[in-house]
Each structure stands twice: as C-alpha cells, then as structure tokens.
Copies of this chain bind each other. A is one copy, B any other.
C-alpha cells in the first residue's frame, strides 16, 4: 500500500503539487512591513512546481532592514549589495498575483529579482516608493539676465540640506548631489522643449537657502528656466542607479502582465540572458504626486534570445528610453594561444555580465570597422573577475587579423515584437533596438524627446551590439518626435563610430522597412540612415503639427553609405514647403518615386 501511494504520488506529482497560496495565511497582510514574511514564503516555495501566490487587494509595505541581500551585478546599473523583496531564484511555473495591490517600498530594496526561473509570471500589481530617487523642484522665480532662479519643493517628499552652497538630497541613507538634471513642463508632463538649454552644471552649481523649502541657484546656470517649469535632479553615478524595480536573468518564458511601476532608482525592468519574455499591460508612469517615473529606462534587454513580446504597454515620464534591446561588444584583450581569448567587458555598467556560456556561437570582429570576420562556438568560459574572462573557442583562423578585436554573442539575439504600445513624454528615445533577430514594431504610438526608434550599434560608448538584419516598422504613429530640438528622427539607423573607427566593406545594418506610418511632426523629419543595406521607406504619411517650433534645417530623409533603398508613396501634408531628401554620393541603388511633397537636395 505504501509502495502504491509512493508510485501514485510520483505519477501525479505535477498536478498534485499545483497550489494557490493566499499570502494572508502566512502573515502577509497590509499595515506592516511584510518583507521578512514574503522572503520566507518565497523561500519555502522554491523548488516546488505550479505555485500561485495571491495577495488579496491592499497596500503591502516593504522595508529593507530584514530583507535578504546579495551582491549583484545588474546590467546598466550600479552593481552592489542588493536587498530583495521577492528573491525568485530557480522557480518553475510560479505566479505572483497582486489582485490589484500596491507594493510600497520604503528604502533601497529591489522589488523583484528573478534568476534561473522558468514560466514565471508577475501580474496585477503596482510598484511604488514612498520617496522617489529623484527630486522635483518647481521654478518660482527666474532671472534670465542674472542667470539665477529660485525653486520651491516639498520637503517631505524631497528632503534636502544645504551646506557650503551645495544642496544634497536625502534618499534612503544617501546624500545625493544635483548630478544629472532636466527641466520638465508640467503642462505636457514631458521634458520642456529644447531642455538642454536649461541644464545645470551640477559640479559648479551653488545655491542659497531661502526659507525652509526654497533655494536659489546662483551659479552653474546656463539659462534660467521659466517660472512654473520643474527642474528634476537625479544624482550621480555610481549611486544613482542602485535600485531597479525588476531584474530578470538567466530565465525562460517569463511574463509580466498588468503591472504598474511608478518609480525606481534605475530601470523599471532590466532583462539579461533570458529566453522568451512577454510584457502585456506593463505600465511605467509617474504617480499623481510626481511628474517623473523611473530614473532610467522603462525596459531594457541585453543578451536575450527567443522572443521579446511587448504589447498594450504604456511607458511615459521616464528619465531615459522606453525600450532597449541589444547585445554587447566585448574587447579581446589578448589572444592567449590554444584557442583561448582573454576578453574584457567594455562598458562599466556591463561589469559582471554573463557574456557567453559553452555552446554559444560568437563572432570575432574588427574593433575598427565593427564588422565580423569569423564565427565560432564557445567551448568554455572562465570568469576571472567582473571585468575579464577567458573564452575558449572550438576553432580560430590560422591567422588573426591585425589590430584590436572584439567579440559578440550570436546565439543570444532575440526576436522583438512590439504592438499597441504607447511610449511618450520621456527623456531620450522611444525604442533602441540592435538585434540580429526578427523585429516587428507595429501599431504603436511614439512621442519621444529624442529619436523615436534608434537602430544604432556601437563599439564605442555603450558597446551595444547587434547589427540588424530584419526590421519592420509599420502602422505606427510618431507624434512630435524630437522635441529636444535638433536632428532627431522618428527613425535613425546608423552605427555609432569613434573617430578611430571607419566604415568597412559592406553595410553594417540590413533590411529595415519603415512603412505605413503616420508622422505628426513639427520638424518634418522622417528617417536618417547610415550604413544600411535594404532600406524601405514607403507609404508613410507626414502631417504638420504646430505644437513645437517648426524646424527646416535638416533633411526629412538623410541617407549616407546606404545600398538598395526604396523611397516610395510617402505623403506630406501641411508643411507649406517641400521636404528634403538627401542622398550621399556613396549611397547606391536608390529607387525614389511617387513621393509628392518631397524634393531631392
């Protein structure tokens, strides 16, 4: 009998194990710090299958004092000891269902850390912090001629001290100087037009206290921002990106559904080395009391594979990009012989990244042209430290080319589908994407301060790899894109080269279709492309928008070193002038027809 029961329980292990747990049964209730209890509950379900943790609707508070902690490298953030509310490690078929609850954080504490999990879902909850990682200062007096201005703030929300002319903001045990800053317009809840004009030199800024919640900027002011505008200040590296909202690494089949993120001392979501992730109704936005949401990108994906699917999402009021999908260019420091390469991670915010594992395909490339010359399979990786590792390949060319080399991981490039999303009113770009996978961006609304969609790739500044090979951008609305001012395009596709780098033979990007989009534009800009082979710009409609100062100093379409380009059937409305198409002498095979309202320069 005993034997039979044992066999039966083994046979039915999976369905029997499925369980829905009401967290209230584990002492997790509103009105107290639940971190310890949540840590314990999460630990108790580790290794179990088919578990759903249900939080009855309410506000749950999380404090850092008793939270589980680990040293963590987090891509595009500042590495360090992180305390964690939900340390989800090695979970299978786990669902966290907030039932519409708010998870309120009271310190430097990471809401969700998801590592080596499979089929895990976070749903129906809102993440916020009692105190933000930035400060919002309303301009109440402005003296443009004297280059001074006075700000007022809420000292409960944004406590500060002034000492020796320096203002320091208290954020969870940390005194942050002004650092990065940007002026927002409370009318549009966006960065103010041409905001760079007003940027404060944080190192030179000097202030004078005027009562308990006002102070005057006396030095470091380029132009005084207008009365009523809001100066947002958000600190300096390496203390300004310590606390993201959700980190996912080394996982598979993840899903985030109906989740709102109001704040984070970093990104809303950072995903590393993960296969298949779906975001549905993920909302990143400020709460009613603030203009600004997250300190950095809404979502960011590095070295993923499978499919990234982003649908029905709203990303607004971030201090950085909406979506960024890319790989990493890593330096080859030295060839050690015997097929071993000593490699160094190129960007300090990628230190600690898992670049490759045995079985991955990688490409070696010239650091000068960033064009690959050979592919191989990784046999072993020995991590030396957060900067360096030794990678052994299955084969290398008999002779390696002269000059410095880099390496990129070909296995870990995902497909990307973005559909029915809104990205707007944020600093920086809507989407950055550099992946060799298939990219479909359709039926979205973009209204970003810099470029709408940036397809870059650089072995230079951020070392974000991934020359694209198949990108379709269609049926999207681009509304007032580029209100930073200058040459900001709905689509910019061009690798970023250093002065020491040069275009190699053949284009870097391939096959980009920008079709059937609606562009509501004050500046008349559409596409800028460099080093793209197979570029289709067809059937787009460009309508004049009077919302920002009209610009006419840049070409609407600007092509450099491209090949196989089709510009066809694009419409223009309301500009009262022809839009310019500029094609460089080294661009080849361009078909241009049926584009009323356009002219070639």
The distance in angstroms between the C-alpha atoms of A69 and B387, with both chains bound, is 10
Shortest Cβ distance from A81 into B: residue: B386
Asked whether any CB of chain B lies closer than 8 Å to the CB of A65, the reply is yes
Main SS of chain A's interface residues?
mixed
Residue A4 interfacial (CB < 8 Å)? no
Instruction: Evaluate contact between B384 and A66: CB separation under 8 angstroms.
Output: yes
Q: Please report the C-alpha to C-alpha distance between residue A384 and residue B87 in the assembled complex, in whole angstroms.
A: 12
Contact indicator A67/B36 (Cβ below 8 Å): no
Count of residues in A whose CB is under 8 Å from the partner chain: 16
Which B-chain residue is minimally distant from A387 (CB atoms)?
B65
Instruction: Digitize A353-389: 1 where CB-to-B-CB distance is under 8 Å, 0 elsewhere.
Output: 0000000000000000000000000000000111110
CB distance from A38 to the nearest CB of B (A): 12
- Shortest Cβ distance from A84 into B: residue: B385
User: Could you tell me the distance between the alpha carbons of A81 and B388 in the complex, rounded to whole angstroms?
Assistant: 14
Q: Mark A69-106, 1 if CB is under 8 A from B, else 0.
A: 10100000000010100000000000000000000000
**A:55-73 near B, CB below 8 Å:** 65-69, 71
B388 adjacent to A66 (CB under 8 Å)? yes
Residues in chain B near residue A388, CB distance under 8 A: 65-66
Would you call A255 an interface residue if the criterion is a C-beta within 8 Å of the partner chain's C-beta atoms?
A: no
Q: Which B residues are CB-close (under 8 A) to A36?
A: 384
A39 beta carbon closer than 8 Å to chain B: yes
A342 within 8 A of B: yes
Report B-chain residues with C-beta under 8 Å of the C-beta of A387.
65
Query: Inside 8 A of A65's CB, which chain B residues have their CB?
Result: 387-388
Complex alpha-carbon distance, A65 and B342, angstroms: 11
Q: Is the CB of A69 within 8 A of B342?
A: no
Q: How far is the CA of A387 from the CA of B67 in the complex (A)?
A: 10
- In the assembled complex, the Cα of A161 lies from the Cα of B324 at a distance in Å of 40
- Please, what's the 1-or-0 string for A122-148, where 1 marks a CB less than 8 Å from any CB in chain B? 000000000000000000000000000
Q: Which of A69, A386, A387 has most chain B Cβ within 10 Å?
A: A69
Q: Are B342 and A384 in contact (CB under 8 A)?
A: no
Whether A386 contacts B69 by the Cβ 8 Å rule is: yes
* Chain B residues whose C-beta falls within 8 Å of the C-beta of A67 in the assembled complex: 384-385
Kindly state the separation between the CA atoms of A384 and B66 in the bound complex, as whole angstroms: 6
- Asked if A66 contacts B342 (CB within 8 A), the reply is yes
Which single residue of chain B is at the shortest CB-CB distance from A39? B384
Nearest to A43 among chain B residues (CB) is B382
A166 to chain B, nearest CB (A): 13
Could you name 20 residue pairs across A and B whose Cβ atoms are closer than 8 Å?
A36-B384, A39-B384, A65-B387, A65-B388, A66-B342, A66-B384, A66-B385, A66-B388, A67-B384, A67-B385, A68-B384, A68-B385, A69-B384, A69-B385, A69-B386, A71-B71, A71-B81, A81-B385, A81-B386, A83-B385
8 new A-B contacts, CB < 8 A, other than A39-B384, A65-B388, A66-B385, are A65-B387, A66-B342, A66-B388, A68-B385, A69-B384, A69-B385, A71-B71, A83-B385
**8 closest cross-chain pairs (CB), A and B:** A69-B385, A71-B71, A66-B384, A66-B388, A83-B385, A69-B386, A68-B384, A67-B385
